[in-house]
């Protein structure tokens, strides 16, 4: 019974991770980058290149994927709550944070697919003050409201190839796509004037990874990222 309690306590950090917001953008929901989301990153910790899941595998580094013994599938759902106590602002939402599928092939090749949010936007702001507006000798009290929603997804295709027992490379191509919608309201006398706009996003990012095994206890890992098509 005592050993079972120890195992349960040890498993808690594997399934749960806490990430603190980075500033006003996160709390307002104007833009939140998903750089550390899902079980994949929770298992990798803060190590994005060096092996972390085992002595030879890191899910964030595709040049190590061929070292997996079995096909790996991970689907993660996350809840987010950010706030600025000094401004009495809060923002919360939940949704898919990461879906990852990796298939090793003969311990020499691998191919993987994943989809995850790249940036989220969710804003609903109502002014506490009314603005007086005079029209046709009549004074109207106008209340502005702003509503924004949507976000950007990243569909990733990756693979690895082992040249020798010591040298392997990996590549990930990230297809960025999505849209955001914005509604601006002017509310007065029970009526609304609405202005609606929509923005679409497309982009392509490529990441190259390199792994070199120097000894059984020492390895070198590096990565290079370039934007093929700006968002």
Q: Tell me, yes or no, if the pTM score tops 0.85.
A: no
pLDDT in tens, the chain (231 residues): 544 555 555 555 555 555 555 555 555 555 555 555 555 555 554 566 777 666 788 888 898 899 888 898 888 777 777 676 666 666 677 777 788 899 999 889 999 999 888 877 777 777 777 767 666 666 677 777 888 888 888 899 999 999 988 899 999 999 999 888 888 877 776 677 787 888 888 999 999 999 988 887 788 888 898 998 887
Do 180 and 199 contact (CB within 8 A), yes or no?
yes
Buried b (16+ CB within 10 A) or exposed e, 57-71: bbbbbbbbbbbbeee
In this prediction, residue 160 carries a pLDDT of: 93
Q: How far apart are CA 154 and CA 96, in angstroms?
A: 12
In this prediction, residue 32 carries a pLDDT of: 58
In this prediction, residue 231 carries a pLDDT of: 79
Reduce the DSSP state of residue 32 to 3 states and report it.
strand
Reduce the DSSP state of residue 202 to 3 states and report it.
strand
Do 161 and 199 contact (CB within 8 A), yes or no?
no
Structure tokens at 208: 């190259």
How far from the centroid of its chain's Cα atoms is residue 104's Cα? Answer: 24
In this prediction, residue 203 carries a pLDDT of: 92
């Amino acid at each position: 019974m005592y050993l079972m309690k120890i195992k349960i306590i040890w498993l808690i950090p594997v399934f749960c991770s806490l990430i603190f917001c980075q500033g006003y953008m996160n709390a307002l929901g104007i833009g939140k980058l998903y750089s550390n989301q899902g079980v994949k990153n929770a298992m990798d910790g803060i190590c994005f290149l060096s092996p972390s899941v085992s002595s030879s595998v890191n899910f964030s580094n595709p040049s190590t994927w061929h070292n997996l013994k079995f096909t790996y599938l991970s689907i993660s759902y996350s809840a987010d709550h950010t706030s600025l106590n000094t401004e009495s602002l809060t923002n919360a939402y939940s949704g898919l944070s990461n879906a990852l599928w990796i298939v090793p092939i003969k311990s020499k090749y691998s191919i993987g697919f994943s989809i995850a949010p790249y940036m989220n936007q969710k804003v609903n702001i109502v002014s506490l003050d009314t603005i007086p507006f005079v029209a046709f000798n009549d004074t109207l009290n106008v209340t502005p409201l702003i509503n924004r929603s949507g976000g950007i997804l990243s569909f990733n295709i990756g693979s690895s190839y082992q040249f020798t027992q010591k040298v392997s490379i990996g590549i990930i191509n990230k297809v960025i796509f999505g849209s955001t919608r914005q509604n601006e309201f002017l509310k007065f006398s029970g009526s609304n004037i609405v202005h609606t706009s929509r923005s679409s996003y497309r982009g392509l990012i490529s990441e190259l990874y390199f792994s070199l095994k120097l000894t059984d206890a020492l390895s070198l890992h590096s990565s290079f990222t370039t934007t093929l098509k700006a968002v």
